Structure 1
Amino acid sequence: MKIIIAGSGAMGSRFGLMLHRSGNDVILVDGWKEHIDKINNDGLQANLNGEEVVEKIPAYHQDDLADVDFSADLVILFTKAMQLETMLKSLQPCLAEETKVLCLLNGIGHEDIIKNYVKFENIFIGNTMWTAGMDGPGRVTLFGSGSLDLQNLGAGKEEAAKEITKVLSEAELHANFSEDILASIYRKACVNGTMNGLCTMLNSNMTEFGGTTYADDIVEAIVTEFVTVAKAQNIELDQPAILAQIKKCYDPETIGLHHPSMYQDLIINNRLTEIDYINGAIVRKGKEFGISTPYCAFLTQLIHVKEEILGAK
């Protein structure tokens, strides 16, 4: 299969490398010139579960696709949420009539943007539990195992979704066809909508936050807003199970000492965050359905204030 990885940072590089190694025709696309140049000059370098590997995978800057002769069967989106529309505009020369687009971004509601550039029946959405780390231009660390769930949005496109699932699974990415992907995405968004914003505002890891007197009350209030908005869209979530899942994040023996990705973006790398596509998305959908979301609204505002104070870009 001819596959474009659109957004070839840590996670995109993982998927690109594994799909390439399983025999697919893969190209990497990204907006980070130094990263693209390093891959083209030296190959994509990875520490893959302790093994040093180098794979020669063609890489292109997203602004240079007009001259690229590559009509994709599948595009996998891994950009930051705020970069999605710019990437979709850049990809137009590589999108054929029947190109499938799989969105694996964090957050909620990305299909509302994608459908402006891709036929709705060709849009697929998913939720991945793989991890990856970026060590520098052209180099990533890929440890552990993971999985992903995906589903078609268009009616009658189940077989196409299952074909994508097959290709991903043959690359040992452990893909599963889901009949309730929106619930999976909302469950993950509940974790991101609490741990990411709160740890970023409080300059804490998850264990430190979870050990405070007020953690449970704050998390429950935020999750209640997610669950209520989901229900308005006929998405049923098990709130006690989600709260239990979030509490597992506090464990220092597992991931509790980890700083969430939003903290890494803003506090460590001084980058703008994806808060508008996590808590901010709940605020927008809450307004659409007449649901009050004060906790998500306040946390979204606080993160934007911190972005401005820190001069994030």
Structure 2
Amino acid sequence: MKNDMKILGGSSNRPLLEKICSYLNVSPTHVEISRFADGEINMRIEETVRGHDVFLIQSTSPPVNDNLMELLILIDALKRASAGSIAVVIPYYGYARQDRKARGRDPITAKLVANLLTVAGASRILTMDLHSEQIQGFFDIPVDNLQSFPVFVEALKKHECIDKDKTVVVSPDVGAVKRARKFAEKMGLPIAILDKRRPKENVAEILHVIGDVEGMSSIMFDDMIDTGRTLIEGAKLLKQKGSTKVIACATHGLFSQNALEMLDKSDIDTVYVTDTIAHDELPDKIKIVSVASLFGEAMIRIRKSLSVSILFK
């Protein structure tokens, strides 16, 4: 039997699923997803997957628990239908911030999710910009962690006037320096760092700017926007320190609570996010760049047993 590549997905991000299928010129395998009266998830895969290489696309974005449970049930269904391999594509990996014990009696939920995915039957994981890279070590199966910076480099060069003598990449905190530095190197720009502390969850205080931003366009680069407070406070301080323009780039746009309204009123001139998380309507200030081609190329390379890391060199 010919081992075709099958691509299917849950309900969390249908637009990205369709874009990836379009890029690969493959029709998505139809999955019927419904709910019983008590809220339990019911699903049926409408065509054979026996012996095929299957790529299952599902972001564990809000509602996180519903999408995670849907993903686990899909993996189980594929395993019981004798799929040859099950590569789970998680554009946004939920619970990634719970990767260590910050206090006594804290759970390490990122590890728990890794265990659940493995036990359910995943053969490998393909994700993007994990909040903590060490999460790859939580798995005993192969994990490919893609990086989003190529699509941001392309978008900024296309839509923004980048003067290399008057532009600086800003890391929103010390923890994001490695990610921001890699992006700055690709753009050929210097880097500055915001000194941030968190007095409590989802509250950020920006204390200082380390580096020269006066008279410069500042590009803040991070892996996600949740409530948006870090970027909003950062932009406010950057403008006070003399930045002429502030652009924000983040892979995952969660936009929790009233983040969209606050970002729209903030000192940030433009916000770029990817389509790892699906959104219906966004303010004009927020621009979407697609990562479908990056995932598509990675999926081709995984199937052909070729290098994935070469995509980012």
TM-score, normalised to structure 2, is 0.34
Larger radius of gyration: 2
Q: Which has the higher helix share?
A: 1
Q: Which has the higher strand share?
A: 2
